[in-house]
């Protein structure tokens, strides 16, 4: 075919392409709906089908939440008699991965919004709707789980109508588990989501919306071709990182990787780059031709920075090399995980690791223990502080042990978050108390309907990374849902509380907290440690201190050896002589004796507010 014939053929083909993603709150049935679509379009045979097919990790299936984005191409024989190519991008389902969700949305023209008929609109529902509206996507609301006894599809549809303006009677009502109504959703995708724009003749620009590492092909970039086409082995480059590569393979997901000769504008697929690290191929980057490519990046790219930091140490020091190898392998598939070696006086050698949030940290810990069979100890999570010194220099501190002496600090700035809590009206008082006790500042209240509200607060990140979510669920009997975004760095009256065991500082037990809370937190920690540290042959003082000032102290009583057992009589001076000898021995033992701090002591930091 000549060029004109190819272009007219492509214009006709692009009219039958639809790119969409499914967005939902955690556990509203997003992955189950994707399963039913794969079955309905015969993309996966009944023999190969399994629940949550696109969730490849065991952890994803167990927790019921998508952790990594995935894509699949389906061919659907529509009711109008035409066959359509539908590209489905399954997005992550947790607030920690909001940036990845936004890049997946940019790769689409439309989004199917799944809302649970028994739970209604929740935090991530609204958050993802706003992300989709920012990308100017066509949103198709779907009411799922209508077969549940507690389902209220009519009321939930009305809530969604108030949110989006879509008439309630036009929304698809489905049961993804049983497959009821799924065909109607696909028909709506074809009818309401527009085909991709035709920019086939322009310079190549392709959006990277996810990636994973393959031992043989290097980094596999999941891409949406926005302009131009990728074909052959022509040299390509990434605009943000500057990395250049010759594609090893080009292809599509159906749902396994299948090689093709080219990908043109509007199509979703993958490029095997041969690169050895996902750091060189970041989510949101733009792929273009190295020779005659575009200099203009696709909008929205930013480098994701970790928000939560924790020390990860092997329980057995001999496993240090294995832990380093495991973290390096995890980092190949997760560019947002950062780590560097760290040494602790109490825990020896380990790593300081940075995570997107507490959920991301939990996932990494579980994968280290399960997939790499490591027994690890994680210290209490902390955040990154900005410390302004008297000489005008600013340094970033992500570990309490690294905080400089008080005498050189002008001010300490901590990250503050904007949070939205979605809750029934009757729990407003309990939520207000919880947030204000955590140094939160009330902003506004929005009424969703007659019974539910959105409470807006500003709160320090350090106050929500440990047990805030658990307490929120507890005081609202499980009804509240939470969404949060970074707001700004703010100066605060913050101090480092050090813990001294037998007058030696234990760096892994240090914490940074507000001066008003320091005394109470120090006192609670010392009480816990007194119960956890095993008794020695000498008295062990356990102290909490701010600088040189001790704010709390307790003594772990000595085990007493009865040296008077052999004294069955005689003068009292004989007894005094033996007791004096014992006292000298205990003093010498205290000077050279090392006190082992058990692992449970480091976990005590996680539950200080209970």
Instruction: Concatenate the DSSP letters of all residues of 74-112 into one string.
Output: EEEE-TTS-EEEEEEEEPP-SGGGHHHHHHHHHT-SEEE
pLDDT above 80: residue 606: no
Q: Half-sphere exposure of residue 275, counting CA atoms within 13 Å on the CB side?
A: 24
pLDDT above 80: residue 8: no
- Residue bearing tokens 């320091």: 518
Question: Are 269 and 263 a contacting pair, CB within 8 Å?
Answer: yes
Least confident stretch, 40-49, 145-154, 225-234, 516-525: 40-49
pLDDT above 80: residue 424: yes
Q: What is the mean pLDDT of residues 375-391?
A: 85
Region of residue 391 (phi > 0: left; psi between -120 and 50: alpha; otherwise: beta): alpha
pLDDT above 80: residue 92: no
| Residue 505: cis peptide before it, omega within 30 degrees of 0 | no
Region of residue 27 (phi > 0: left; psi between -120 and 50: alpha; otherwise: beta): left
Closest of 392, 357, 371, 339 to residue 99, by C-alpha: 357
| Per-residue model confidence as pLDDT tens digits over 267-319 | 888 888 888 877 778 888 888 888 877 778 788 777 777 878 888 888 888 88
> What number of residues does the chain have?
610
Question: Are 333 and 278 a contacting pair, CB within 8 Å?
Answer: yes
For residue 551, what is the DSSP state?
Answer: E
Give the β-pairing of 348-355 and 268-272.
unpaired
Give the β-pairing of 138-144 and 110-116.
parallel
| Per-residue model confidence as pLDDT tens digits over 207-264 | 888 887 788 888 888 888 888 888 877 888 888 888 888 888 888 887 778 888 888 8
Q: How far apart are the C-alpha atoms of 594 and 549, rounded to whole Å?
A: 24
Q: What is the mean pLDDT of residues 486-497?
A: 88
CA torsion 344-348-354-359 (nearest 10°) is -110
Closest of 245, 251, 254, 250 to residue 275, by C-alpha: 245
Least confident stretch, 62-76, 153-167, 193-207, 522-536: 62-76
pLDDT number for residue 9: 45
Greatest CA separation for the chain? 119
């Amino acid at each position: 075919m000549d060029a004109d014939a190819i272009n007219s053929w492509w214009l006709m083909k692009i009219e039958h392409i639809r790119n969409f993603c499914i967005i939902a709150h955690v556990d509203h049935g997003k992955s189950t709906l994707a399963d039913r679509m794969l079955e309905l379009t015969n993309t996966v045979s009944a023999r190969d089908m399994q629940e949550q097919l696109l969730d490849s990790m065991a952890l994803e299936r167990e927790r019921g939440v998508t952790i990594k984005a995935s894509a699949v191409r389906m061919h659907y024989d529509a009711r109008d008699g035409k066959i359509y190519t539908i590209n489905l991008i399954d997005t992550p389902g947790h607030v920690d991965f909001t940036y990845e969700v936004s890049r997946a949305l940019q790769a689409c023209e439309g989004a199917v919004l799944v809302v649970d008929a028994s739970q209604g609109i929740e935090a991530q529902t609204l958050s993802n709707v706003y992300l989709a509206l920012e990308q100017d996507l066509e949103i198709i609301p779907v009411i799922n789980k209508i077969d549940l006894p507690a389902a209220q599809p009519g009321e939930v549809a009305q809530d969604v109508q108030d949110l989006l303006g879509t008439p309630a009677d036009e929304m698809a009502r489905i049961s993804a588990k049983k497959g009821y109504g799924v065909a109607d959703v696909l028909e709506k995708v074809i009818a309401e989501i527009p085909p991709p724009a035709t920019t086939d003749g322009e310079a190549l620009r392709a959006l990277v919306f996810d990636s994973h590492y393959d031992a043989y092909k290097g980094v596999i970039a999941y891409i949406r071709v926005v302009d131009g086409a990728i074909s052959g082995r022509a040299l390509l480059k990434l605009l943000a990182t500057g990395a250049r590569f010759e594609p090893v393979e080009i292809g599509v997901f159906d749902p396994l990787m299948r090689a093709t000769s080219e990908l043109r504008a509007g199509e979703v697929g993958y490029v095997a780059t041969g690169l050895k690290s996902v750091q060189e191929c970041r989510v949101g980057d733009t792929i273009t031709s190295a020779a005659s490519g575009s200099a203009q990046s696709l909008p929205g790219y930013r480098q994701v920075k970790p928000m939560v930091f924790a020390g990860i140490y092997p329980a057995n020091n001999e496993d240090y090399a294995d832990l380093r190898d495991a973290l390096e392998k995890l980092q190949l598939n997760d560019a947002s995980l950062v780590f560097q070696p760290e040494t602790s006086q109490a825990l020896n050698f380990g790593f300081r690791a940075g995570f997107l949030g507490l959920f991301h940290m939990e996932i990494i810990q579980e994968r280290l223990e399960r997939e790499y069979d490591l027994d690890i100890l994680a210290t209490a999570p902390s955040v990154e502080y900005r410390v302004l010194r008297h000489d005008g220099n600013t340094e970033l501190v992500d570990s309490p042990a690294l905080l400089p002496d008080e005498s050189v600090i002008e001010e300490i700035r901590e990250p503050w978050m904007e949070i939205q809590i979605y809750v029934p009206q009757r729990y407003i008082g309990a939520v207000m108390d919880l947030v204000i006790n955590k140094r939160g500042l009330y902003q506004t209240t929005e009424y969703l309907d007659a019974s539910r509200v959105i409470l807006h607060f500003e709160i320090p990140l350090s106050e929500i990374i440990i047990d805030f979510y658990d307490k929120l669920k507890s005081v609202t009997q499980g009804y509240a849902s939470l969404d949060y975004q970074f707001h700004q760095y703010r100066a605060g009256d913050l101090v480092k509380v050090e813990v001294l065991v037998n007058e030696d500082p234990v760096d892994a037990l240090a914490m940074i907290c507000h001066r008003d809370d320091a005394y109470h937190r120090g006192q609670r920690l010392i009480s816990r440690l007194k119960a956890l540290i095993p008794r020695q042959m000498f008295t062990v003082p356990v102290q909490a201190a701010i600088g040189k000032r001790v704010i709390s102290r307790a003594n772990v009583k000595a085990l007493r050896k009865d040296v008077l057992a052999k004294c069955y009589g005689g003068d009292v001076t004989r007894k005094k002589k033996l007791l004096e000898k014992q006292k000298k021995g205990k003093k010498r033992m205290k000077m050279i004796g090392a006190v082992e701090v058990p692992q449970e002591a480091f976990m005590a930091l996680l539950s200080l507010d209970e």
